Structure 1
Amino acid sequence: MNAPRQPLIIGAGPAGLTAALELVKRGVTPRVYEATPHVGGLARTPVDGDWRVDPGGHRFFTSNEKVLELWNSLLPPDQWISVPRRSAMLVAGEYVTYPLWGRDLLIQLGVRSGVRGAGSLLWSRFRRNFRLDDRSETFQEWGVDEFGRHWYDLFFDGYVRKTWLADPNHLASDWANQRIKPIDWRRPGDRPADLDVFRYPRLGPGQLWEAAARALANADVTVTLNAAVVAIRQDRRGWTVEFEDGQTASGDAVFASTPLRLLINSLEPQPPKHIRAFADTLRHRCVITVGVALQKRYDIPFNWVYTPGEEFRVGRIQNYGRWSPALAPENWNGTHLGLEYFTLPHDDLWEASDETLGHIVEQDLGTLGVDHSEIEHVMVVRSQFAYPIYDPGRERNVARIRDYLKQNFPTMHPIGRNGMHRYDNQDHAMLSAMHSVARYFGENIDPWQVNTDLGYHEAGLLRN
Structure 2
Amino acid sequence: MTPRNPLIIGAGPAGLTAGLELVSRGVMPRIYEASAHVGGLARTPSDGAWRVDPGGHRFFTRHEEIMDLWKSLLPHDEWIVVPRRSAMLVDRHFVPYPLKGRDLLMQLGFGTGLRGASNFMWSRFRRGLRAIDRPQTFRQWGIEEFGRHWYQMFFDGYVRKTWLADPDHLSSDWANQRIKPIDWRRPSRGHPADQDVFRYPRCGPGQLWDAAAAALTNSGVPLSLNSRIEAIRHDGQNWTIQLQDGNTASGDALFSSMPLQLLVHMLEPTPPKHIRAIAATLRHRAVITVAVALKKHYDIPFNWVYTPGPEFRVGRIQNYGNWSEALAPEGFTGTHLGFEYFTLPHDDLWVAGDEGLGSIVESDLQALGFDNSELEHVMIVRSQHAYPIYDPGRERNVVRIRDFLRLNHPTLHPIGRNGMHRYDNQDHAMLSALHSVARYFGENADPWQVNTDLGYHESGILRS
CA contact (8 A) 2:14 2:257 kept: yes
Question: Which letter does structure 1 place at the counterpart of 2:302?
Answer: F
CA contact (8 A) 2:193 2:460 kept: no
SS in 1 for 2:154: helix
CA contact (8 A) 1:128 1:134 kept: no
Q: Distance in 1 between matches of 2:132 and 2:381?
A: 44
Question: 1:426: Cα distance to partner?
Answer: 0.2
Q: Distance in 1 between matches of 2:215 and 2:414?
A: 23
CA contact (8 A) 2:196 2:461 kept: no
CA contact (8 A) 1:123 1:148 kept: yes
Q: Which residue of 1 aligns with 2:23?
A: 24
SS in 2 for 1:298: coil
Q: Distance in 2 between matches of 1:74 and 1:455?
A: 30
Question: 1:193: Cα distance to partner?
Answer: 6.6
Question: Which letter does structure 2 place at the counterpart of 1:159?
Answer: Y
Q: Which residue of 2 aligns with 1:139?
A: 138
Question: Which letter does structure 1 place at the counterpart of 2:120?
Answer: L
Q: Distance in 2 between matches of 1:439 and 1:100?
A: 41
Q: Spell out, residue by residue over 1:197-228, the C-alpha distance to the aligned partner (whole angstroms, 9 max, x if none).
A: 00000000000000000000110001100111
Q: Which residue of 2 aligns with 1:419?
A: 419
Question: 1:177: Cα distance to partner?
Answer: 0.5
Q: Which residue of 1 aligns with 2:64?
A: 65
Question: 1:137: Cα distance to partner?
Answer: 1.4
After the TM superposition, which segments of 4 or more aligned residues of structure 1 sit over 6 Å from their partners?
none
Question: Which letter does structure 2 place at the counterpart of 1:46?
Answer: P
Q: Spell out, residue by residue over 1:44-85, the C-alpha distance to the aligned partner (whole angstroms, 9 max, x if none).
A: 000000000000000000000000000000000000000001
SS in 2 for 1:337: strand
CA contact (8 A) 1:230 1:244 kept: yes
Q: Find out whether 1:11 has 2:14 as its counterpart.
A: no
Q: Which residue of 1 aligns with 2:50?
A: 51
Q: Distance in 1 between matches of 2:125 and 2:193?
A: 33
CA contact (8 A) 1:120 1:149 kept: yes
Question: Which letter does structure 2 place at the counterpart of 1:204?
Answer: G
SS in 2 for 1:379: strand
Question: Which letter does structure 2 place at the counterpart of 1:390?
Answer: Y
Q: Distance in 1 between matches of 2:431 and 2:165?
A: 30
Q: Find out whether 1:169 has 2:164 as its counterpart.
A: no
Give the count of matched residue pairs. 463
Question: 1:232: Cα distance to partner?
Answer: 0.4
SS in 2 for 1:386: strand
CA contact (8 A) 1:106 1:115 kept: yes
Percent of aligned pairs with the same amino acid: 74
- Is the alpha carbon distance of 1:194 and 1:108 closer, same or farther for their aligned partners in structure 2, counting shifts above 3 Å? closer
Q: Distance in 1 between matches of 2:462 and 2:24?
A: 24
Q: Find out whether 1:86 has 2:85 as its counterpart.
A: yes
Q: Distance in 2 between matches of 1:322 and 1:132?
A: 46
CA contact (8 A) 2:292 2:338 kept: yes
Q: Which residue of 2 aligns with 1:374?
A: 374
Q: Which residue of 1 aligns with 2:34?
A: 35
Q: Distance in 2 between matches of 1:133 and 1:263?
A: 38
Question: 1:136: Cα distance to partner?
Answer: 4.6
- Aligned counterparts, 1:423-438, within 5 A: 423-438=423-438
Q: Which residue of 2 aligns with 1:220?
A: 220
Question: Which letter does structure 1 place at the counterpart of 2:114?
Answer: V
Q: Distance in 1 between matches of 2:223 and 2:210?
A: 11
Q: Find out whether 1:246 has 2:266 as its counterpart.
A: no
SS in 2 for 1:97: strand
Q: Which residue of 2 aligns with 1:307?
A: 307
Q: Which residue of 1 aligns with 2:96?
A: 97
Q: What is the TM-score normalised by the length of structure 2?
A: 0.99
CA contact (8 A) 1:61 1:459 kept: yes
Q: Spell out, residue by residue over 1:92-128, the C-alpha distance to the aligned partner (whole angstroms, 9 max, x if none).
A: 0000000000000001100000000000001101111
Q: Which residue of 1 aligns with 2:278?
A: 278
Q: Which residue of 2 aligns with 1:114?
A: 113
Question: Which letter does structure 2 place at the counterpart of 1:31?
Answer: R
- Aligned counterparts, 1:316-335, within 5 A: 316-335=316-335
Question: 1:131: Cα distance to partner?
Answer: 1.8
SS in 2 for 1:240: strand
Segments of structure 2 that go 5 or more residues without pairing to the other structure are none
Q: Distance in 2 between matches of 1:35 and 1:120?
A: 49
Q: Distance in 2 between matches of 1:418 and 1:248?
A: 23
Segments of structure 1 that go 5 or more residues without pairing to the other structure are none
Q: Find out whether 1:233 has 2:260 as its counterpart.
A: no
Q: What is the TM-score normalised by the length of structure 1?
A: 0.99
Q: Which residue of 1 aligns with 2:188?
A: 189
CA contact (8 A) 2:195 2:461 kept: no
Question: Which letter does structure 2 place at the counterpart of 1:455?
Answer: G
CA contact (8 A) 1:63 1:461 kept: no
Q: Distance in 2 between matches of 1:108 and 1:9?
A: 51
Q: Distance in 2 between matches of 1:142 and 1:322?
A: 32
Q: Distance in 2 between matches of 1:185 and 1:461?
A: 20
